């Protein structure tokens, strides 16, 4: 069995490694991000926003008629750039332009399309966005 760098898969990232990678590239829209990095970051992102809503409600500082307040807004604003950046790098990993993230503006169809792409395995070869971080 031949050991080829293009076919040998690297180990899956842990949640801490993935989140660390995303924050190391806080606003870097170039390069590639593998599936595990993307999905672990999304879990972290949802936990942070859930905790922000919890603390807004716990301290009674929610906005009128809303379930969130200033802690949530600050957390969401602080995470918006790395969230966009990792999404663009994930699209690059399957050899798609980051501009495809604009599909999120199309209700339902855009979300379904981006979900399918986010679940797609990495392009095994080097593409115009760089070497595969997975293979």
Number of domains in the chain: 1
Q: Is there a domain that residue 128 lies in? A: no
Q: Is there a domain that residue 7 lies in? A: no
Cβ atoms of 18 and 86 within 8 Å: the answer is no
Helix axes 70-93, 35-58, angle to 10 degrees: 170
Q: Is there a domain that residue 42 lies in? A: yes
- pLDDT of 100 over the 80 cut: yes
pLDDT at position 134 is 85
Full-model pTM: 0.88
Domain region containing 54: 15-119
Helix axes 70-93, 109-119, angle to 10 degrees: 60
pLDDT confidence band for 19 (50 / 70 / 90): very high
- pLDDT of 115 over the 80 cut: yes
Each residue's pLDDT tens digit, 60-96:
999 999 999 999 999 999 999 999 999 999 999 999 9
pLDDT at position 4 is 52
pLDDT at position 54 is 97
pLDDT confidence band for 11 (50 / 70 / 90): confident
């Amino acid at each position: 069995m031949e050991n080829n760098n293009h076919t040998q898969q690297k180990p899956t990232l842990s949640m801490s490694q993935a989140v660390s990678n995303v924050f190391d590239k806080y606003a870097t829209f170039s390069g590639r991000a593998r599936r595990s990095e993307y999905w672990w970051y999304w879990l972290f992102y949802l936990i942070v926003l859930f905790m922000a809503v919890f603390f807004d409600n716990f301290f009674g500082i929610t906005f009128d008629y809303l379930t969130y307040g200033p802690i949530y807004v600050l957390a969401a604003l602080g995470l918006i750039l790395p969230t966009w950046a990792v999404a663009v790098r994930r699209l690059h990993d399957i050899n798609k332009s980051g501009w495809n993230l604009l599909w999120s503006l199309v209700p339902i169809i855009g979300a379904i399309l981006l979900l399918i792409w986010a679940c797609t395995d990495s392009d095994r070869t080097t593409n115009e966005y760089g070497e595969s971080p997975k293979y």
